[in-house]
Structure 1
């Protein structure tokens, strides 16, 4: 029997994958797989994908039987005459691999009731592959996107272009790219050209349709649109021998209450003995758990531990990277020696570890005002 049309293509997104490779990397979307009675429109994009997707799956997933991988296999029983081939997981039985046949009566058969073999679309006039005039406008959308960003986001975009174009060895290609940027926004083109040390701006690239000035679209921004919440964020606490046990406990409790997860980092995975004489195990070793994996960090150290870690590059990087990545940093008095060596400055995002409320407020944001202190954009 045919699968009811109401459930074709249904996808329920209600959980994270249990195994990213098995359930995400091996997914094979193939629009050529349709039940009888459904046909393909003459949409050119679909027509191209009917070929390319199957070719991609054969190459990416190793052979013609990718539909037997659990994440791609249908949940309802099905039967066909496809057999053998590389990575065949089933054990097809019988003598025939076709229908109709007189040699085997229990092989898969078409429905005796029949079904429409294809969809018939009315042919009501001439058809042509005609592009709308808007297809010639290559720059208006890019201009709207760039001008809709906040200033730090615009700076990051310009720096990203400089970073990538700096890998391009051919000068003419770099100049050609900047010539396209001039049609998007001249200020962006100048920033990129300056980052590439171009002696002069190239002429704007020839365009059939000049870019239009659309209204700004705030919804494309990241800055200013996210809620200042700690739910889903992760805070790292660096500690060592003699760290203040009560202070660590207070920070963990406050972070947990705010919805953040907390990971404890120490020079040794076994942890360290705190000020109360009890040993606290670490979730990660300092050398293998950099601050880049956290949304904010707290550094709770004794004076002696801070002096010792001031000679450890991993500890210095832990703090300096958090500062450079505009993250909130909480530190107690003992940690100040490490912050000084890491050249951490003073702003609203650097707070006393004893003030958990102020730290958590800063941890829910990025310190964009700090950026000019740590890099040239």
Structure 2
């Protein structure tokens, strides 16, 4: 048993040990060129005389400038703005009945992973809180090779066939004549595409929902989008969709808040992820699968291979099979986050493709992109992309080759090397494609089963709570209101009447076009799993801003702070200066931020303490601004007795999410509960 444990420990550490070969710490070292020549002067170039011309024989100058000029690689066409972390995936139970994938065969089996989150539309310098789809790509370093689960935080896609992929990206990106707007779908070409390619209807409902402005990477779902196959040892296959379920639940920003955060802290999401991992508050996601037997492929009222459709969880339950924990930040963003290459074609035995026409195109697109972006076919040898198991083949040469392959033979079959490297029979672990029978004429066409564009868009609308519907309506009004073409605005309204007539009428009234004459879909079904109203509400790792001044009540305030910290709330002390604040009994409290260096939109909740000292006009005004901002964004606010002066009310029960400490023995418990709720949509603004 001890040897087995040691083997598992070795497996868990393989990727980190592999990366250690490439990690270099320059601290305390002498400077050299890339050829290891020691440098005596890194300040001045070689010149002909003190004020003379620079000489090109200065090899250090040439190397330094040349390397600098070539430090960038092409940014990704989509998913350019991203951030990543290392982690571990632990399997809950043996899945051998369904798949022979090695990393899913034992309870407690651990596999190192690398996860990159991203926005889709914006460039590498855009803000992270834009209304957009989010990428959620996971590279499993399994003992059978790398497996990439390339996911989004929305379970469906804009298009059904990869032939349309360049078109949707061209439409949603900044318009080519003026390169505007950045990281936004609120413009003519995008909505013109939507109205004239109505398979987008379902995806647009998600894009206009709160799912498109997540609170953090830690609080968003991931979906494999495409339909894959599980294949077991006996060769039996099942259709499968993958899900990542955040342990903290699915939570979002509100639109006004998202825009303001983009200005206050465009790095909001990556900062959140980095800081949580650094503090040991490791983000966790459960891996779930939906499975459909092959014989049941056609029993649904939607085509299971259509990427614009989801499989409702109430019909096809999600089975949770493992836990992903992100527990280590990257050492270097460029070397790891930017050079990592994900590809849905990177699969292992036991996982295979289907006839999903969007997936089929992605299999070409991803590899083609990596060849250009990373400079050739050897990007798999970049440290972050290397498999933890050895690889052997007859592929040679190319840009940036890292290996030195020895021997005279580089072909198969051969006799000079005893026909090695040799192939591996399927029964010994060699990959074998699933043998699906395929018949039909070679044709460019769309299946009739793909031509229902509105039933699931209506299902999504039916599943939303009243606040979520209000947010969707307002998102449409904002986005379509930015469209300059009246014709396009009218086309959009005429399209979305098929989803909901009230929604379409509300948009029409606000964007200056006539109300539509069509009728909405007659779908009455809903899926509670789609509403964030039904997600877990936990206080762990939420942020609390404590606005505090000198003369605060030491005993009362410190007891509350310690209580909240015990339940995982992250507390930030905010005051007028960075000097410690002093309580009325002399207790000193270290200050983390000043009122000038932070903002209410950066916190999930506020605790208003204030103080007893006079002449704090700037501080008092800022406290009022913080309260107003948090109030408008439906956030919970707790008031110490000395903080009530900033927002006096007669009936302390009158404002949902406001909790008062004065004469309230249950304040700490009530405030903790309010913090966990995050938003109080029944608050009248």
TM normalised by structure 2 equals 0.46
Q: Quick one: structure 1 residues 221 and 351, their matched pair in 2 at CA, closer, same or farther if it must change by over 3 Å?
A: same
Alignment check: 8 A CA contact 1:64 1:86 kept: yes
Alignment check: 8 A CA contact 2:486 2:513 kept: no
Superposed, 1:223-372 pairs within 5 Å as 223=533, 225-304=534-613, 307-309=616-618, 312-313=621-622, 315-339=623-647, 347-354=655-662, 355-365=667-677, 366-370=679-683, 372=684
What residue is the counterpart of 1:201 in the other structure?
515
Q: Quick one: structure 1 residues 244 and 186, their matched pair in 2 at CA, closer, same or farther if it must change by over 3 Å?
A: same
What residue is the counterpart of 2:528 in the other structure?
218
Deviations 1:35-74 (A, max 9, x none): 89x9976654443222111012234445433212333211
* SS in structure 1 of the partner of residue 544 of structure 2: strand
Give how far 1:272 is off: 1.9
2:523 and 2:503 map into 1 onto residues whose CA distance is 15
1:232 and 1:359 map into 2 onto residues whose CA distance is 15
Give how far 1:154 is off: 0.3
Q: Quick one: structure 1 residues 67 and 286, their matched pair in 2 at CA, closer, same or farther if it must change by over 3 Å?
A: farther
Give how far 1:121 is off: 4.4
Alignment check: 8 A CA contact 2:490 2:514 kept: no
Give how far 1:297 is off: 1.0
Larger-gyration structure (1/2): 1
Alignment check: 8 A CA contact 1:176 1:202 kept: no
1:299 and 1:280 map into 2 onto residues whose CA distance is 15
What residue is the counterpart of 2:490 in the other structure?
175
Give how far 1:278 is off: 3.1
1:122 and 1:257 map into 2 onto residues whose CA distance is 55
Q: Which runs of 5+ in 1 are unaligned?
A: none
Alignment check: 8 A CA contact 1:298 1:353 kept: no
1:229 and 1:204 map into 2 onto residues whose CA distance is 43
Deviations 1:328-367 (A, max 9, x none): 1112343344447xxxx95132222343233223222221
What residue is the counterpart of 1:74 in the other structure?
387
2:368 alignment partner, one of 52, 55, 61: 55
1:254 and 1:42 map into 2 onto residues whose CA distance is 54
Deviations 1:85-119 (A, max 9, x none): 4444x2525586832599x969x942178889975
Deviations 1:111-153 (A, max 9, x none): 1788899759476754566755442211111111112211111
What residue is the counterpart of 2:257 in the other structure?
none
Superposed, 1:37-52 pairs within 5 Å as 44-52=357-365
1:312 and 1:98 map into 2 onto residues whose CA distance is 74
Superposition RMSD in Å: 3.8
2:596 and 2:539 map into 1 onto residues whose CA distance is 26
2:328 alignment partner, one of 9, 14, 18: 18
What count of residue pairs does the alignment treat as equivalent? 356
TM normalised by structure 1 equals 0.78
Give how far 1:75 is off: 0.5
Alignment check: 8 A CA contact 2:638 2:671 kept: yes
Give how far 1:324 is off: 0.9
Structure number having the greater strand percentage: 2
Q: Quick one: structure 1 residues 184 and 94, their matched pair in 2 at CA, closer, same or farther if it must change by over 3 Å?
A: same
* SS in structure 2 of the partner of residue 275 of structure 1: coil
* SS in structure 1 of the partner of residue 522 of structure 2: coil
2:590 and 2:543 map into 1 onto residues whose CA distance is 18
Alignment check: 8 A CA contact 1:178 1:189 kept: yes
1:39 and 1:245 map into 2 onto residues whose CA distance is 62
2:434 and 2:643 map into 1 onto residues whose CA distance is 75
Structure 1 residue 160 corresponds to structure 2 residue 470: no
Higher relative contact order, structure no. (Cα contacts within 8 Å, ≥ 6 residues apart): 2
Alignment check: 8 A CA contact 1:310 1:338 kept: no
2:481 and 2:586 map into 1 onto residues whose CA distance is 54
* SS in structure 1 of the partner of residue 497 of structure 2: helix
Structure number having the greater helix percentage: 1
1:199 and 1:339 map into 2 onto residues whose CA distance is 42
